[in-house]
Amino acid sequence: MTLETVARCMPAGILIGVVVLIFSLQHALLPAYALLVLIGILGGFFVVPLNALLQERGKQTVGAGNAIAVQNLGENLAMLLMLGLYSLAVKVGVPVVGIGVGFGALFALAIAGLWLWQRRR
């Protein structure tokens, strides 16, 4: 995969959301383990090309180190936001399975929306 074809990783991101949704509905350990492995594999297909693109574009503009620092800040803020949303959902009584299904669906739809937006540009 080249930096010109980095958008090819977007279907893996959509599949991560779908697999997380399916994972949330599991009642047996063996399928849950298999789905966790699949989420990890898809995560590699999704994140590695995006990190390569970030480093390449960052090197050309603000420097690769600064670009990675900004990425880390964004990721940490996103984790804190999601932790807050999860805590709020649990506090108001949303079932954990519903939270997992909602997160998987939201993630898949968000990545699909980004992919469609990118393709139209």
User: pLDDT, tens digit, for every residue of 52-90?
Assistant: 888 888 888 888 788 889 999 999 999 999 999 999 999
> How confident is the model over 102-121, as a mean pLDDT?
93
What are 103's two structure tokens? 């997160």
Residue 113 has pLDDT above 80, yes or no: yes
- Say whether 41 sits in a helix, a strand or coil: helix
pLDDT class of 99 with cuts at 50, 70, 90 = very high
Predicted confidence at residue 25, as pLDDT, reads 97
The C-alpha atoms of residue 31 and residue 120 are separated, in whole angstroms, by: 37
Is residue 20 within 8 A of residue 103, CB to CB? The reply is: yes
The C-alpha atoms of residue 117 and residue 110 are separated, in whole angstroms, by: 11
Residue 1 has pLDDT above 60, yes or no: no
Predicted confidence at residue 118, as pLDDT, reads 84
Is residue 68 within 8 A of residue 55, CB to CB? The reply is: yes
Is residue 8 within 8 A of residue 1, CB to CB? The reply is: yes
Look-up of token digits 């050309």: 60
Look-up of token digits 């993630």: 107
Residue 120 has pLDDT above 80, yes or no: yes
pLDDT class of 20 with cuts at 50, 70, 90 = very high
Look-up of token digits 């279907």: 11
> How confident is the model over 97-119, as a mean pLDDT?
94
